[in-house]
């Protein structure tokens, strides 16, 4: 009897283990765990810790892939793409936005689809692929749901920027943009910057005024990417006014922000801008040194994470 009982016990244990391994019970905490990572990413993004947010959104995306939660995966991908673009990780942003676009299209999610297309259009414009950018933006303005107010306003802003690059004398998009009165101050700042870009050919004083207004809005909101953009654009206006000291100061301030953001790509663009300003002042050794720092940063991208990297400019 003892031997038979042992055999039955072993058989029951085997069946219990087999049942547990072959048909696991639902685990809702797996979804909650992914949502927690996603929320941490959103919190990091809101606090301006964009590199940390990129890591967390990527972790959330991988987590939702592992449980095949397509809806949550799409949200994580869109957040990842948009945050990566903010800190200059353009290739990651483009690839991720494309994946999100395809996923949204497969699931007939118009809002998320056009959110991805908007980012793709922005990147296409930055890369000089203006026709692609215009095609994407026109599609968005024609087909995006009317209740997607922020999305449509962002598309209108982008369309005005595209028109400036292709038809600078055609002011219809700028006029449409001027009719907007967004409650969000960051949208107001962006509209001011677009207006300034149109004015730069004809009225540098008015250009500077609008750029300074935009800069103040960004500074009050402590929005680093916008502040860096406004400073770089203001530096360009100062350069056209031959106010080279102010131009160099603005570029250097923008550089510190880009270094804090770990934005290697845009830091490189600012270093090129700084070198050009130094050349126009006749400071050829300074320009040569700045280009050497730029080349060093390009060959060693991890240098941007060193808080003292910009001290190299003063050596």
Distance CA 1, CA 5 (A): 6
Q: Specify whether the CB–CB gap between 100 and 84 falls below 8 A.
A: no
d(CA 174, CA 158): 10
**Residue 37, CA atoms < 13 Å, CB-side half-sphere:** 22
Tell me the mean pLDDT in the region 286-298: 91
Per-residue pLDDT at 169: 85
Integer Cα distance of 77 and 54 in angstroms: 10
Task: Count Cβ neighbours within 10 Å for each residue of 185-210 and write b for 16 or more, e otherwise.
Answer: bebbbbbbbbbbbbbbeeebeebbeb
Mean pLDDT of all residues in 105-129: 94
Reply yes or no on whether the pLDDT at 4 is more than 80: no
Alpha-carbon span 170 to 2, nearest angstrom: 96
C-alpha span between 263 and 309 (Å, rounded): 13
Q: How far apart are CA 272 and CA 289, in angstroms?
A: 11
Token pair for 140: 């968005």
Task: Tell me how crowded residue 9 is: count the other CB atoms within 10 A of its CB.
Answer: 10
- Pairwise CA distance, residues 50 & 260, whole Å: 10
CB contact set of 141 (below 8 Å; sequence gap of 6+) = 152, 155, 156, 159
pLDDT interval class at 133 (50, 70, 90):
very high
pLDDT in the model for residue 112: 93
Q: How confident is the model at residue 170 (pLDDT cuts 50, 70, 90)?
A: confident
- 89: CB partners within 8 A, 6+ apart: 54, 265
Residue 30's pLDDT band (boundaries 50, 70, 90)? confident
On the question of pLDDT at 98 being above 60, the answer is yes
Q: Could you say which DSSP state residue 314 is in?
A: G
> Could you identify the residue written with the tokens 């941007």?
304
**21 — pLDDT class (breaks 50, 70, 90):** very low
**Higher pLDDT among residues 20 and 192, named by residue:** 192
Percent of the chain whose predicted confidence (pLDDT) is above 90: 79
Q: What's the mean pLDDT in 99-112? A: 94
**Average of per-residue pLDDT across 184-199:** 96
Backbone angles phi, psi at 182, to 5 degrees: -70, 145
Q: How many CB atoms within 10 Å of residue 106?
A: 11
Closest CA to 177 of 201, 159, 196: 159
pLDDT of 6 above 90: no
Q: Which of 199, 222, 207, 303 is nearest to 259 (CA)?
A: 303
pLDDT of residue 298: 87
Q: For the chain, which domains are there?
A: 202-306+309-313 (1.25.40.10)
pLDDT at res. 14: 45
Residue 313's pLDDT is what?
A: 82
Q: How much is the pTM? A: 0.85
pLDDT at 5: 47
């Amino acid at each position: 009897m003892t031997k038979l009982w042992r055999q039955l016990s072993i058989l029951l244990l085997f069946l219990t283990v087999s049942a547990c391994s072959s048909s696991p019970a639902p685990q809702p905490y797996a979804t909650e765990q992914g949502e927690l990572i996603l929320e941490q990413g959103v919190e990091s993004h809101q606090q301006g810790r964009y590199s940390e947010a990129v890591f967390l959104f990527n972790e959330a995306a991988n987590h939702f892939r592992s449980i095949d939660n397509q809806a949550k995966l799409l949200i994580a991908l869109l957040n990842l793409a948009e945050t990566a673009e903010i800190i200059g990780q353009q290739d990651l942003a483009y690839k991720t936005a494309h994946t999100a676009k395809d996923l949204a299209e497969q699931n007939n999610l118009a809002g998320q689809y056009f959110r991805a297309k908007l980012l793709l259009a922005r990147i296409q414009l930055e890369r000089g692929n203006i026709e692609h950018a215009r095609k994407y933006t026109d599609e968005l303005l024609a087909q995006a749901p009317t209740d997607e107010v922020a999305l449509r306003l962002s598309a209108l802003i982008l369309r005005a920027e595209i028109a400036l690059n292709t038809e600078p004398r055609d002011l219809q998009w700028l006029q449409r943009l001027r009719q907007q009165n967004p409650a969000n101050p960051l949208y107001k700042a962006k509209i001011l910057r677009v207006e300034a870009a149109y004015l730069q050919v004809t009225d540098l004083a008015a250009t500077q005024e609008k750029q300074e207004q935009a800069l103040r809005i960004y500074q009050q909101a402590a929005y680093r990417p916008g502040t860096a953009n406004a400073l770089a654009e203001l530096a360009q206006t100062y350069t056209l006014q031959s106010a080279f000291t102010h131009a160099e100061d603005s570029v250097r301030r923008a550089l510190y922000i880009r270094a804090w953001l770990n934005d290697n790509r845009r830091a490189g663009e600012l270093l090129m801008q700084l070198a050009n300003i130094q050349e126009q002042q006749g400071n050829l050794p300074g320009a040569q040194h700045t280009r050497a720092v730029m080349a060093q940063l390009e060959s060693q991208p991890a240098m941007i994470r060193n808080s003292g990297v910009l001290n190299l400019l003063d050596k």
